[in-house]
Amino acid sequence: MSTRKPKPAADTSEQILDLAENLIQTMGYSAFSYQDISSALGITKPSIHYHFPSKAELGTAVIERYAGRFGEALAAIEQDQSKSSVAMLERYFEPFLQFSKTPNKVCLCGALAGEMMALPPPMHDRADRFFKDHHAWLTAILKRGADRGEFRMSAPVAKTARMIFSALQGALLVKRTTGDASEVRDVVAAIKAQLAAA
């Protein structure tokens, strides 16, 4: 019991990453500054430089952690092969529906995509990999579902996967702009209806 703290008292580095992630998701990478973090955290700017020498390194660490977390979640979903493909997809949608509940959050990589050419190369590369990994994962799940007769697809699996992923990313962006929380829910509903259509 004493070896497992209830709240691991996030060290400063983690807190900085948390804040930076949030700031990027709400205002974008270019628009946030060390000042924003230092104010929110109650420490000075140089203290942040101690943990992350440059903004590019901080940005890279943020996306690295985010993509890693997301990747683990995907791996966990496909681990239990006893689940139906429909159930797996259901769990895949969860984080997107979760995002849609907060008014101003989008997928970190979706936010970054809009300002891609202004990002340091390591961040660009990591976002690239994030998108490609997602596509590969979704394609595999859709193929499994099609093989097992759980999904009906009117287009090739890979193209359907691209449409679903693009729709989810786009839905988050549109939702944030219009403020209509049902955007993501509607898109998820349309995707499910499409895959279930007989």
Point out which residues bind DNA (CB under 7 A).
11-13, 32-36, 42-47, 49-51, 53-56
Contacted entry of DNA, its own copies, none for residue 111, CB cut-off 5 to 8 Å set by kind: its own copies
Q: Which of 45, 69, 83, 132 binds its own copies (CB under 8 A)?
A: 132
Residue 146: both structure tokens together: 């099609």
Rounded to a whole number of angstroms, the minimum distance from the CB of residue 37 to DNA is 9
DSSP state of 116: G
**Residue 18 C-alpha from the chain's centroid:** 14
Rounded to a whole number of angstroms, the minimum distance from the CB of residue 69 to DNA is 22
Residue 183 binds its own copies, judged by CB under 8 A: yes
Tokens 């979704």 label which residue?
138
Torsion of CA 161, 163, 164, 168, to 10 degrees: 140
Q: How far apart are CA 45 and CA 47, in angstroms?
A: 5
Name the amino acid, one letter, at 17. L
Q: How many helices (H) and strands (E) does the chain have?
A: 9, 0
Measure the N-to-C terminal CA separation of the chain; round to a whole number of Å: 53
Q: How far apart are CA 30 and CA 131, in angstroms?
A: 21
The site for its own copies, by CB under 8 A, has a size of: 52
DSSP state of 117: G
Q: Which of residues 25-64 bind its own copies (CB under 8 A)?
A: 26-28, 30-31
Rounded to a whole number of angstroms, the minimum distance from the CB of residue 52 to its own copies is 20
Rounded to a whole number of angstroms, the minimum distance from the CB of residue 8 to DNA is 15
12 versus 166: smaller Cβ distance to its own copies = 166
Residue 189 binds its own copies, judged by CB under 8 A: yes
Residue 196 binds its own copies, judged by CB under 8 A: yes
> Quick count: other Cβ atoms within 10 Å of Cβ 142?
23
Binding site for its own copies (CB under 8 A): 26-28, 30-31, 104, 106, 109-118, 124, 127-128, 131-132, 154-155, 158-160, 162-163, 165-171, 173-174, 176-179, 183, 186-187, 189-191, 193-194, 196-197
